[in-house]
Structure formats: C-alpha cells, structure tokens
Structure 1
Amino acid sequence: MHETDMNAASSTQALFQDQWKIYRKMVDNNFLFHREAYARLHEILLSDVARPFDFLDIACGDASASASALVGTQVAHYHGLDFSAAALALARDACGRLACPASFEEGDFVSSISARSAPVDIVWIGLSLHHLRTAEKGAFMGTIRRLLAPGGRLLIYENTMPDGEDRDGWLKRWDRQRSTWSAYDDLEWNTMRDHVHAADFPETDASWRALGDSSGYGSVLEVYAAPSDLFRMYSFKA
C-alpha cells in the first residue's frame, strides 16, 4: 500500500471512530429511544409475522439492536446493508447469535435497493430514511413495495413532525435536547447538531401516511411514538 493510501485509510478509520463514539453515546444513553423502538419491533415480529421471514436491515450499522430484536423470532435469513465496511464488520459479529444464515452488503442504500430484484418479507430502516427529501422517500418506498413478498411489510423508525409543524420547528425542538444530553461535550454536540441541521429532513405524520398510500401500501399504521415526539415508528403493509 502506498503512503498516500495508508494515510487515507488512517484518516477514514479515525473519522469512523470519532463518529462512532458520538453514535454510541447516543445509543448507550438511549437519547433517541432506541430501546423502546427495537423492543416494539421485536413485539411486531413475534405477534404479527406468523411464518418464517427474510429480514432486510437497511443502513444496519453494527446491527446489534436489530440482532437483539430478531432473537426468538421466526427469522429465516438476515441481510444487512450499510455504506460502512467498519460497521459491517461489527454487524457480522452481532449477527453471530442468530439461528439463521446472515449476509452483508456494502453500499449506498438507495442505489443498492434500486438494483435489487430478490423479494423480501420484512424491510427495516431506522433513522436513515430522513436523509432523503420527500419525493426521494416516496420513490424509495415505492421500490421497497415492489420488492415485498405478499403480506410483507416495511417498518421504519424516523424523524417525524406533528401535523402543522415545519422543519424549523422540529429542529428547534431537537436543539432543546442539549439541556438533557449531558453525556456529550460541546464539540461532540456541535458535530452532531451540524449534521442534523444539514442532513435531516423529517416528515409530518400526515406526510408519512400519504407517502405510504402513494407508494401502493395496503395499510399504514403508527406503531410507536418516542416520548420526545421527535421520532415515530410506522408499519407499511403490502
């Protein structure tokens, strides 16, 4: 490996580690109510999915929460998709506890899903779909709908505004979390805040329902709302 390549690889790894530290503080302190959301996912997979199912985990990260949610369910195959090779390495370890085959794919989730043709039963995406604008979300959800096997469903946990709120209002409520998220120092908070302000585009409850309808889903249900009301979980059934 050339020195330039080694420097680039070192820089990429350092960036991953810095971002991962911020992310893990968020998860470990349950600031985004991951525990409740994944517990709800587990309940749905146990109570509402009566047959063995393939599970597509989009933007899976380290897959630790998804793997926990899948334990004890009828999952027949797990497929994790993420753009980060480092995260996928962790995901492989996390999914070792599952009693089913697991596969992993590195890539951008929009282009990867657009190129996919194999049907799937359950698709899960948590706190990543909000990086797309409304029309892009609709196109992506339509692609997922065409991939779903009969009776399949798309489950999402995403940034959501109450009806009548705009993005500025949602961002102001996000910023107010600073007073309680004491695990972050100022540099970490500002790094995360800058990302959210630049890249997060929440939808209203009505917008998520309209996107489900226009994408061809037979039913759209809200199945969980975070106590902060910054995030909600929806089930879109084929």
Structure 2
Amino acid sequence: MEGAVSTAFDRREVFTKLRAHDRMCHVAAYAWLEGFLAGRGQNGDGLRLLDLGCNDARDMVRVLSAGDVTAYTGVDTDTDCLAAAWKNLADSPAAADLVAADGREILAGLREAVDVIWMGLLLHHFPREEKARLFAMAKNALRPGGELLTHDPMPGDGESAEAFLARYNRVIEAGWTELTPEERRVLVAHWSRHGRHDSIDVVERLAREAGFSKVVRRRLDPDGFYALLRFAV
C-alpha cells in the first residue's frame, strides 16, 4: 500500500485535483503576491524575483504579466514541472530562467542579490534546523530592503504538528468530496510522512534569529491551515 500511495501522489493526480478546487489557497496567495509587487518595480530597474519551489509556474504567469518583475528565476527539483513551466512562461515580459536544483544550492551560489524571494508550499518540507538555515541563506541573498514571502500550511501559535495534521485530516475526510476515498488516504499519508510543520510563532522566531527585522502574517482560509508570511530585511 505504501508504494501505491507514493506512486499515486507522484503522478500528481491528487495535487491536480486540489489545485482545481483551490484547496491549497493558490488563488488568494498569488493574488496577494501580485498586489504586493504592484508598483514596486517602477523605479527604473524593475524587480528581481527568485521563486523557490516554482512547480510549473502557472500561478506565476499573471504575477509576471503586470511587468513589475524584470528578472525571474524559478527553481524546482522536478524536471517535468520545469518543462511545463517553460511553456507557461513563454510569453512572460520578464526575463525568465528556470533551474533544476535544490533551493538551498541556488541560495548558496547566488551571484547577484534579488529583491524578492517567494517560497510557495516549500517550508513544510524542512525540519526546523533546515528552516533556520534556509532563512539565514535567504537573508544573505536579498538586497537591502528586500523581502522573503512564504505561502505554506502552518499550525497556529503553540499548535503541535500532530494536532494540526489531525485537524487537517478531519476536514479532508469530512468535506473534500472531489477526492475519492483512496485519494484522501493518499493525501493524508503524504502529509503524515513528508510534512515538517512548525507553528507560525516558531517560524517567525527562526526568521528573526536569521536577521529579518519585520514579520507580517495573514491567514488564507477559514479553517486556519494556510498562511502567508512576509519577512523584511
């Protein structure tokens, strides 16, 4: 069963359905990112945006079409996703580059600082010590005045990962009717095996310890599963 679960999720059927029903709050997250960037690139230089965990970049197309970003780099370890991203970004006004790599490798070897780093559904893949390292590397990769923005499933202040996942799983089982019973099991198993969910207050502390001076948070869904966090240098 475990092999079947892994294979089913790797084929992305479940993820595709969740995106189609906006279960992971992509619409609100990218609308917020678009609004955040609006007008910030009008100083003559435009913005340099680094997208860690870019997937197929379909949600980034509208963000880039506004013209505030002049240089976009998308990073993902999945080469199939990057192949789709190249197609999705074919008409982008931003100079786009896509790289098959771990985001930490890119941050460590970055030659030119960026204005904005976007991490969509990325943080929960890392244990706490790696999150701390990721924040430190991200801060060093940003220009003065730059910002790190994240969209992620995240427990509330003081909520354990176990309680968060149990709460999440109850909602999935009760209300996500677009998924078959097997697909719901696939999703629950995926979160249980691959999630490294630290609560918002812990993530904020890690960012401040890395040198970020300001943190702004926003919840995206009424159940309190997904959050946007904004970290300023």
Give the TM-score, by structure 1 length. 0.88
Measured after TM superposition, the shift of residue 113 of structure 1 is: 2.5
CA contact (8 A) 2:9 2:186 kept: no
Are positions 1:149 and 2:125 aligned together? no
Partner of 1:26: 18
Partner of 1:175: 169
Partner of 1:37: 29
Give the TM-score, by structure 2 length. 0.90
CA contact (8 A) 2:51 2:118 kept: yes
Q: Once superposed, what is the RMSD of the aligned Cα atoms? A: 1.8
Partner of 1:205: 200
Measured after TM superposition, the shift of residue 224 of structure 1 is: 4.0
5+ residue gaps, structure 2: 1-6
Once superposed, which parts of structure 1, at least 4 consecutive aligned residues long, lie more than 6 Å away?
none
Structure 1 pair 218–17 and aligned structure 2 pair: CA distance change class (3 A): closer
Measured after TM superposition, the shift of residue 185 of structure 1 is: 1.4
Measured after TM superposition, the shift of residue 146 of structure 1 is: 0.3
Q: Deviations over 1:30-73 (max 9, x none)?
A: 11111111111111111566541011111100000122223214
CA contact (8 A) 1:158 1:231 kept: yes
Name the amino acid aligned to 1:36: A
Q: Deviations over 1:120-173 (max 9, x none)?
A: 111101111111011110111100100101111110011211112111110111
Structure 1 pair 48–198 and aligned structure 2 pair: CA distance change class (3 A): same
Which segment drifts farther, 50-59 or 138-147?
50-59
- Partner of 2:188, secondary structure, is helix
Q: Percent identity?
A: 24
Q: Deviations over 1:211-233 (max 9, x none)?
A: 12101012111144322211110
5+ residue gaps, structure 1: 1-14
Between the aligned partners of 1:199 and 1:112, the Cα distance in structure 2 is: 22
Between the aligned partners of 2:85 and 2:76, the Cα distance in structure 1 is: 10
Partner of 1:222: 217
- Partner of 1:182, secondary structure, is coil
Q: Counting helix residues as a fraction of each chain, which structure ranks higher?
A: 1
Measured after TM superposition, the shift of residue 20 of structure 1 is: 2.1
- Partner of 2:212, secondary structure, is coil
Partner of 2:76: 82
Measured after TM superposition, the shift of residue 208 of structure 1 is: 1.9
Partner of 2:115: 121
- Partner of 1:161, secondary structure, is coil
Structure 1 pair 173–16 and aligned structure 2 pair: CA distance change class (3 A): closer
Between the aligned partners of 1:216 and 1:71, the Cα distance in structure 2 is: 32
Q: How many residues align structurally?
A: 224
